[in-house]
């Protein structure tokens, strides 16, 4: 996946993205980090093919968007909210991508059961979404994204609306899924700690207009646990990222609470 010099200007003249270049490598966990309004979500929508760039180009597996969807070139997305169909049970929600592509029933049954099991909801497949907690609904959303074995998984601040405990648990589970399924993930967040904990690489964006500022490798072994969260290396990465974000926002906001976490 390659984004080459893409820009986006909204019809009202707002420049959402200055020319942005980005390359997503197979098998990496790439986090796009930045403050609100820096165009992270816009960039993700471009990658998802939901918006077209005003200028510049994008290439999916070396080709245009029309070439995605074929085996080996599948995209999936997890949104900020679970975005489930309230009128469908958990299994029917997870099945949606397969149903839309007319996957044969037997194959679909297996894939759905597998995806639901992966996110630990095997006992809940016949439940209605409203019977589940926010964290469980998010797991359903993740299962739906995994069900057609995507080659590129896009996540738009998926855990932003969850409480801290649930969020940390889902972070750990997501990292495990990423390794187990050898996924390629582009993850958007404004949480520095989430970015450091999850990613193999962090792309930092700055606001008004949205632009790329830095590209930071998080060169740490997986699985990462509580020990990593508490390590000075973790704090070091976090400090560096918060400084980058602060610089991007203009010197006036230089201190964004990074001092406490500095090693």
Partner 1 sequence: MTRTRDPAERWRYAAPALVAVVVIAVWQALTAFYDVPQYLVPSPLVVATTLVNDAGLLLASLGVTVSIALAALAIAVTLGVAIALVFVQSRWIETAFTPYVVLLQVTPIVAIAPLIIIWVKDTRLALVLCAVVVAIFPIVSDTTLGLRSVDPRLVDLFRMNRATRWQVLTRLRIPSALPYFFGGLRIASGLALIGAVVAEFVAGTGGQGAGLAYQILMAGIQLNIPRLFAALVLITIAGVVFYGTTVLVSRLALRHWHDSELTR
Q: Which stretch binds partner 1 (CB under 8 A): 128-136, 197-205, 226-234, 240-248?
A: 128-136
**Number of residues counted as binding partner 1 (CB under 8 A):** 22
- Return d(Cα 229, Cα 193) in angstroms, integer: 8
Residue from 39, 129, 158, 206 that binds partner 1 (CB under 8 A)?
A: 129
Cα(253)–Cα(247) distance, integer angstroms = 8
Helices 90-100/105-118 angle, 10° precision: 130
Residue 133 found at the interface with partner 1 (CB under 8 A): no
Alpha-carbon distance of 148 to 146, in angstroms, equals: 6
Alpha-carbon distance 67 to 77, whole Å?
Answer: 17
- Region from 111-119, 125-133, 179-187, 201-209 binding partner 1, contact rule CB under 8 A: 125-133
What is the nearest approach in angstroms of partner 1 to the Cβ of residue 100? 4
Q: Yes or no: say if 193 and 161 are a contact pair by the CB < 8 Å rule.
A: no
Q: Binding of partner 1 at residue 79 (CB under 8 A)?
A: yes
Among 9, 54, 81, 261, binds partner 1 (CB under 8 A): 81
d(CA 164, CA 160): 9
Residue range at the interface with partner 1 (CB under 8 A); choices 4-12, 34-42, 69-77, 239-247: 69-77
Q: Is 168 in the site for partner 1 (CB under 8 A)?
A: no
Binding residue (CB under 8 A) for partner 1 from 4, 19, 48, 73: 48
The per-residue DSSP string of 77-123 comes to: EE-SS----TTS-HHHHHHHHHHHTT--HHHHHHHHHHHHHHTT-GG
- Give 160 or 207: the residue with its C-beta nearer to partner 1: 160
Contacting positions for partner 1 (CB under 8 A): 48-50, 69, 75-77, 79, 81, 83, 85-88, 96-97, 99-101, 128-130
């Amino acid at each position: 996946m390659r984004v080459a010099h893409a820009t986006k200007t909204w019809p009202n003249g707002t420049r959402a993205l200055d020319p942005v270049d980005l390359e997503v490598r197979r098998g990496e966990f790439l986090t796009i980090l930045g403050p609100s309004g820096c165009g992270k979500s816009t960039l993700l929508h471009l990658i998802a093919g939901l918006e077209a760039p005003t200028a510049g180009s994008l290439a999916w597996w070396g080709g245009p968007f029309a070439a995605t969807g074929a085996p080996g070139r599948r995209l999936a997305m997890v949104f900020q909210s679970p975005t489930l169909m309230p009128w469908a049970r958990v299994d029917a929600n997870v099945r949606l991508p397969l149903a839309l592509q007319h996957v044969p029933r037997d194959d679909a049954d297996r894939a759905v059961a597998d995806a639901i099991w992966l996110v630990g909801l095997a006992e809940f497949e016949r439940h209605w979404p409203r019977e589940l907690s926010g964290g469980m609904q998010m797991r359903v959303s993740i299962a739906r994204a995994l069900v057609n074995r995507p080659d590129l998984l896009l996540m738009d601040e998926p855990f932003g609306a969850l409480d801290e405990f649930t969020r940390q648990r889902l972070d750990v589970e997501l990292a495990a899924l990423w390794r187990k399924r050898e996924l390629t993930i582009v993850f958007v967040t404004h949480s520095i700690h989430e970015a450091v904990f999850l990613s193999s690489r962090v792309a930092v964006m700055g606001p008004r207009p949205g632009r790329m500022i830095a590209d930071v490798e998080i060169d740490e072994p997986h699985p990462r646990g509580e020990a990593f969260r508490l390590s000075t290396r973790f704090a070091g990465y976090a400090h560096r990222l918060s400084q980058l974000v602060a610089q991007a926002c203009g010197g006036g906001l230089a201190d964004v609470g990074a001092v406490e976490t500095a090693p």
